[in-house]
Structure 1
């Protein structure tokens, strides 16, 4: 089902439902939700105590507000603040979080609160999934990327030496609170990284949403609350629709990986460092996926140009030449793709498109064509 964004005034808080049998939950999108966290979380508590896992940056900026929002409803909390950054999403970080939950005597009927970006959401969710063989958890994502992607759908996990997100579990949250007022404190680069995932939704399944973003993306970037709320709401709605059809990525859910086969290889090549943020890699990956689609005759040559024009207007990267520092040759990047979770029977699966909003999954992609696309992107 394709639903175009409404131009009418939106309510202060919008709800998107993820109606999975026995594991249904709501995603609430609005401003000031952290200050009201106690009211939202209280119905999910067996006792008035939660365990918060966050990172040091988020803790310094927002933990006090969350604790106050819980205290209004008489809810006590304990918290663990981990170092920020992708390096925390590791076996060591998982061990620390899991041991802490057990040491704090967090029970299976309690609630773990993941309060941070995608790293914390993935890590805290995985720790909650395995501690005591499963503790319920809530997502309070603090970045645009986490609000529209990693907080929704129940994928949790960590990175390994072989690649990104190769150890993890499906563990659906009890509730998601996407407080768009938290986005006001994000550096512009962090916000734009999240926008790479927002744009992806229009490209994969809703051409009208991409057209809306072409008009309203700059407003979102520049702080317009209504544009941010609508972009987060529609992105979550699209992801929820796909997750409800295919929770564990046996079919349709793979569409959400548009741009990610390229992205994950580039992240590995840059050492999961600040050289390339995840959403930046997704934006580059989407542009390359449409390049590949056009080269294979699946869509017109104008489609990749239109995407790059929008990325340029938003101030986002679109090619390998935009990544600082040296990168491995195209053949080595192709080798890194072989570690991707989407490999089936030794064959890479790509999300390609017959046009904007018309993505599909295929394994029928010649390796030499992928290498050529990478070489062209690196050459500028």
Structure 2
């Protein structure tokens, strides 16, 4: 059996269908996804991926495209109006038209930014996402959500803009730091809890293998299956509900509290780590509301802890966290809304929970938190 099986294609249906391709050595497929009519391509990338971006640019030029590189800051620092304005300037000075394209090469922040710039330049141009982290592959690059941050919160400015295609080249994960892989597993485990218990079983079978500095053949195969299962879940959901009118909200499991942590900690926490604590908060909230049994709540803590993700948060930030959650995109007026579970694979919503219930759930996630500085990856 080949160590690296051929590519897997996952179709995202909807009004603008596209393919997510998962496999090895895929960067040469960019021209196929760009299609005909595109003349100019802007490759948006962080500094750490300059060499990879240059290789992509050279390949595009060899295939007849005019290709340009735009380096942006690392992680969440890239998702600002100032950086977006810089990219708009690059597009304008290079005479990009609506028939040209942007490529987002990097982690979730880069793909969010690239998608937002593509959505807003001339009211919408083509974007190809090339995620290079586990988190971006299973979450940010798929689904057409784009956005930038403001001082008031994360992703409050954005647009729904489906990509023309997504290339998940698994080779890029070989150089990914272990902490980034662990953070990405937070979103993978989320997919397991909301829709596919098999994901949880795969993680539980070999958490050490999945988080080892060097992946063995078996762990590589398991990780690929986790990626493909997670993408398939997201593809099914966003194909039915692109603009988060109903079903897509389930993908935000753990995100209301998780985004609040990110905001309060000024984005020093990795997204997957914050969502990990957010899922425990949501599980405790559901248990206190009589919707979820103790066994599933305990399973949250067990599987997340097994891969090295945090399950608690310091107990002296409630007022700030509550204020941040009130600005969450799922809130309606003054009504807080949470995605919760009634069982594994059975997500639902909890609207306007009693403030005492929220405080009690917070007490549960802060009960075992260390004093002093918060723990994060």
Provide the residue aligned with 1:3 in structure 2.
none
Q: Is the 8 A contact 2:280 2:365 kept in 1?
A: no
Provide the residue aligned with 2:29 in structure 1.
37
Q: Is the 8 A contact 2:72 2:78 kept in 1?
A: yes
Report the TM-score when normalising by structure 1: 0.90
Please state how far the C-alpha of 1:119 moved relative to its aligned partner: 0.9
Query: Are 1:238 and 2:233 an aligned pair?
Result: yes
Which of 101, 118, 135 matches 2:108? 118
Partners of 2:232 and 2:145 in 1: CA distance: 16
Query: How many residues get paired?
Result: 362
Give the RMSD, CA atoms, in angstroms: 1.9
In structure 2, stretches of 5+ residues that fail to align are 369-377
Provide the residue aligned with 1:57 in structure 2.
48
Provide the residue aligned with 1:283 in structure 2.
276
1:173-199: CA deviation from partner (whole Å, max 9, x where unpaired): 000001111011111111111110011
Q: Is the 8 A contact 1:163 1:339 kept in 2?
A: yes
Partners of 1:123 and 1:38 in 2: CA distance: 19
Provide the residue aligned with 1:20 in structure 2.
14
Which of 253, 268, 272 matches 2:267? 272
Provide the residue aligned with 1:162 in structure 2.
152
Provide the residue aligned with 1:5 in structure 2.
none
Query: Are 1:361 and 2:355 an aligned pair?
Result: no
Provide the residue aligned with 2:334 in structure 1.
346
Please state how far the C-alpha of 1:40 moved relative to its aligned partner: 3.4
Q: Is the 8 A contact 2:287 2:293 kept in 1?
A: yes
Structure 2 counterpart SS, 1:350 = strand
1:16-63: CA deviation from partner (whole Å, max 9, x where unpaired): 101112x110000011112x2345335x24145421111111224x22
Structure 2 counterpart SS, 1:320 = coil
In structure 1, stretches of 5+ residues that fail to align are 1-8, 322-326
- After TM superposition, the structure 1 = structure 2 runs for residues 74-89 of structure 1, keeping only pairs within 5 Å, are 74-89=64-79
Partners of 2:298 and 2:110 in 1: CA distance: 35
Q: Which shifted more, 65-74 or 170-179?
A: 65-74
1:361/1:10 CA distance change after superposition, 3 Å: farther
Partners of 1:304 and 1:148 in 2: CA distance: 23
- After TM superposition, the structure 1 = structure 2 runs for residues 220-239 of structure 1, keeping only pairs within 5 Å, are 220-222=210-212, 223=215, 224-239=219-234
Provide the residue aligned with 2:375 in structure 1.
none
Provide the residue aligned with 2:132 in structure 1.
142
Which of 236, 241, 248 matches 2:243? 248
1:129/1:39 CA distance change after superposition, 3 Å: closer
Partners of 1:280 and 1:58 in 2: CA distance: 23
